[in-house]
Amino acid sequence: MAGVLGAAMVLAVAPLVVILWQVILNGGAAMSWEFLSSVESSPRDPGGYLHGIVGTLYMTGIAATLSIPIGILAATYLVEYGRSGRFANTVRFFTDVMTGVPSIFVGLAIYALLVVSGGAGLGFGTFVGAAALATIMLPIVVRSSEEMLNLVPADLRTASAGLGARRWQTTVKVVLPAAAPGLITGSMLAIARGAGETAPLVLTALGARQVVTAFQGTPQADIGLLMTDGFSQPFEPGIERAWAGGLTLIIVTLLLTITARFIAARRKV
């Protein structure tokens, strides 16, 4: 059985190893200071993904600011207050549905609600792109946070109540600190998911060929959008930079995961 389980593990890890090897092999050569510090005017000309990196971090940061607090608060309600009530079950149902909705439909919804004049009419830009990413990240934060809060022993809640603490005091001072490592890890995973999304940004951020700092009203660049453009062109420099963009996203995801693990380990100590 140990041999069977070991073989299953190897088969599960093999695709990941192949993907990492291909991305590093094809994108490593294009990773340079020029790639990180310059702007690509077109896939056939020299340049880099500075505008895409800035846009990805900008939109992902706003999306995290929007989705993580709301997600943790919603999970706290589901575990500590709603539990098995009708409203709580309805929230869980729609959260599960949103987790499985293709991201392109999220982009279509944000496009109809915020971008075009038939909705809010805000146009393309950073905020609407972040809103699409936040919509994708929110159900992940809610479900992962709910699972982490459920893992907190009920004895801690009982002991806190026995000492005279109110429910909100128990939640804030006992339950949330105890679940903090798991909450941080789940939030980081949601951020990593949002940073790698491309489809919803086609209809919201649109893309740009320069560094954009405007909050809204100006199309924003993104690594995924630049990669899509680079791979769709026949020019070798653009294809190499697209591979390097994929490697950049992997490095960002790896750094977020390591950060989450480090914070979780420190919290446990």
Tell me the per-residue pLDDT of 113-133, one tens digit each, with 9 for 90 and over. 999 988 888 999 999 999 999
Tell the residue number behind the tokens 């995961």, with chain if given: 257
Question: What pLDDT shows up at residue 267?
Answer: 63
Tokens of 26: 């094809």
Q: Which CATH code for domain 53-236?
A: 1.10.3720.10
Mapped onto helix, strand or coil, the DSSP state of residue 220 is: strand
Packing angle of the helix pair 86-100, 126-150 (nearest 10 deg): 120
Tokens of 67: 């989705």
Q: How far apart are CA 175 and CA 201, in angstroms?
A: 36
DSSP per residue, 152-180: S-HHHHHHHHHTT--HHHHIIIIIHHHHH
Burial class (CB in 10 A: 0-12, 13-18, 19+), 209: middle
Question: What pLDDT shows up at residue 268?
Answer: 59
Question: What pLDDT shows up at residue 202?
Answer: 94
Question: What pLDDT shows up at residue 215?
Answer: 94
Question: Distance between alpha carbon 125 and the CA centroid of its chain, in Å?
Answer: 18
Taking only the tens place, the pLDDT of each residue in 173-198 is: 999 999 988 898 889 889 988 998 99
Question: What pLDDT shows up at residue 175?
Answer: 93
- Cα of first residue to Cα of last residue in the chain, in angstroms, is 35
Tokens of 192: 């990593």
Question: What pLDDT shows up at residue 239?
Answer: 93
| Residues 150/244, Cβ–Cβ less than 8 Å | no
Q: How far is CA 255 from CA 93, 226, 241, 251, in A?
A: 32, 21, 21, 6
Residues of the chain with pLDDT under 70: 267-269
Mapped onto helix, strand or coil, the DSSP state of residue 206 is: strand
DSSP per residue, 223-248: HHHHHHHHHTS--HHHHHHHHHHHHH
Sign of CA dihedral 119, 56, 261, 244: positive
